[in-house]
Amino acid sequence: MTLTRAPLRTAAPACALACAALLVATAAPAPGATPASGASAASSVSGASARTPSVRADAERLAGRLAAEVTAAGAWRHLEAFQRAADDHDGVRAAGTAGYDVSARYVTRRLTEAGYQVRVQRFSFPDSVPVSQTAQVTGPDPRTLHPLLARFSPATPDGGWRGRLAVLPEKAYGCDAADYAGDVRGHAVLARYGGCDLARKTELAAAAGAAALLVNVDQQPAAMNIRSTVRPPAVARVPTANLPRGEAERLAADAARGPVDLFLDLRGRAVTTDSYNLLADTPAGRADRTVVLGSHLDSATEGPGLNDNGSSAAMVLETALRLAPHRDEVRNRVRFAFWGAEEEGMIGSGHYVGQLNDRERRETALVLNFETIASPNYARMVYHGTGAVPPGTDTVEKVFTDRFARRGLPTVPLEFDGRSDFAPFMAAGIPAGGGSAGYNHLKTPEWQRLFGGTAGELTDPCYHQTCDTLSHLDRTILGQFGDAMAWATARFAVDVSDVGTARGR
């Protein structure tokens, strides 16, 4: 799940991050893979064919069989492989790392053994890596802080910066010029996390004359910190870093009693990172009604990413393996996608969509996307498509909510907020659906009543942390989302007529 987002307080425009990224595409096969291409040529997606009872019955039969065969136990074997990949390579599986490559080779091998032809789609993107992340309180209570430098943040002056802290009003996110009405000129400003895009905060802080921007990651647990990204990079105006809630709240309390002096040495280095997507198609099925089932394979740079998003990638892989013996029943081509560099701003999925021509976009019936489907303090969330653009998205949502309801499992809506790999597809007019068990969402009392767990805590307390490991995952919700994923994939592999009708095709 991409870092450059606010937790449910704001909705970033779809594809805002992915479409802003500079992508330099190349094509080269990976071991066991062949070069990728766009969707095959054929006639456009059509809902004109009659939605006969026999077609729908065929869809339900295949959906029922596949849902029974796709299990948490099967996905768990893949998760164990992802955990080993991280353990053996510095604890991460981020884009451009050996941990990602090992994960990708495992996926390629398993798909190839099942009879799929796996294709690799390579791309490059600009990135920023930290060089110095030093922050110290020099008075009145000296101590060391633990910031995470934002990607594409400008640097502090050579030798570091010394100055005073200015804390924005308690309820201010730093998203409005009025938030900076106090004495902030020449000071390091402390603002709340969320409320708007980080780029807007940096612009407003710079306009007010701030020397730096520190963001309070005001989430549980108190020591949790995440790395954010300023996109587009050109708008970054002041050195920017996130602080854990515990450290930020102590700073604010100190500032309420009197001046707080800081030393900051925040510097990053621009790099170009290479990564790739993995794509595999069912050998049968109409290419002009392609159903894309995808999840990002990469982790954040802060941890191994077994929930975010190994859980979803493992279940997509398991769905592909279990569908392989049923290939003769597939009427619409299914494309299984394992996206790279989602954590850097949906780079891989954005590149994929950007490479499609008009015909190929029309031939993509829908995309199914999943994020963090094994969260320990979970909420059962389904992407909310009612009234959404593009048309047909509400139809996809209903397939998921109906499946969960049939099993007596309540759901809550998850808004499309531009924060995952569905965003580039929706920006291109392609219907989307799927769900999540939660990431940096605070569980509400109502969610606790529906799903159990603990209100007031994150659905995934290890979101973008080193503790996002196999032992952290919940098998029950993993299996429930696996059932829904398999059901919807098989259903649309046979029948997308109602989605096509909603799109006016």
Q: Are 466 and 302 in contact (CB under 8 A)?
A: yes
pLDDT of residue 195: 92
Judge whether 410 and 399 are in contact, CB under 8 Å. no
Task: Render pLDDT for 222-276 as a digit per residue (tens, 0 to 9).
Answer: 888 999 999 888 888 999 999 999 999 999 999 999 999 999 999 999 999 999 9
pLDDT bin (cut points 50, 70, 90) of residue 52 is low
Peptide bond preceding 157 in cis form (omega within 30 of 0): no
Task: For the chain, give every domain's residue range.
Answer: 24-33+82-116+282-502, 127-270
Tell me: pLDDT of 119 over 80. yes
Largest Cα–Cα distance of the chain, in whole Å?
76
Distance CA 151, CA 137 (A): 23
pLDDT digits (tens, 9 = 90+) for 317-346: 999 999 999 999 999 999 999 999 999 999
Render pLDDT for 424-444 as a digit per residue (tens, 0 to 9): 999 999 999 999 999 989 999
Whether residue 415 lies in the annotated active site = no
Distance CA 308, CA 18 (A): 18
Task: Please say if the pLDDT value at position 31 is more than 80.
Answer: no
Do 466 and 304 form a contact (C-beta atoms < 8 A)? yes
CA distance 87 to 82: 9
**Active-site pick, 247, 302, 329, 342:** 342
Distance CA 364, CA 42 (A): 11
Q: How far apart are the first and last CA of the chain?
A: 32
For the domain made up of 24-33+82-116+282-502, give the CATH fold: Aminopeptidase (3.40.630)
| pTM of this structure | 0.87
pLDDT in tens, 485-501: 999 999 999 999 999 86
Statement: residue 32 has pLDDT above 90:
no
pLDDT above 80: residue 172: yes
H or E element in which residue 372 lies: none
pLDDT-derived band at 2 (thresholds 50, 70, 90) equals low
| Separation between Cα atoms, residue 216 and residue 205, nearest integer Å | 15
Q: Do domains 24-33+82-116+282-502 and 127-270 have the same CATH topology?
A: no
Given a cut of 50, is residue 212 above it in pLDDT?
yes
In this prediction, residue 284 carries a pLDDT of: 96
Residue 16 has pLDDT above 70, yes or no: no
Could you tell me which CATH number the domain at 127-270 has? Answer: 3.50.30.30
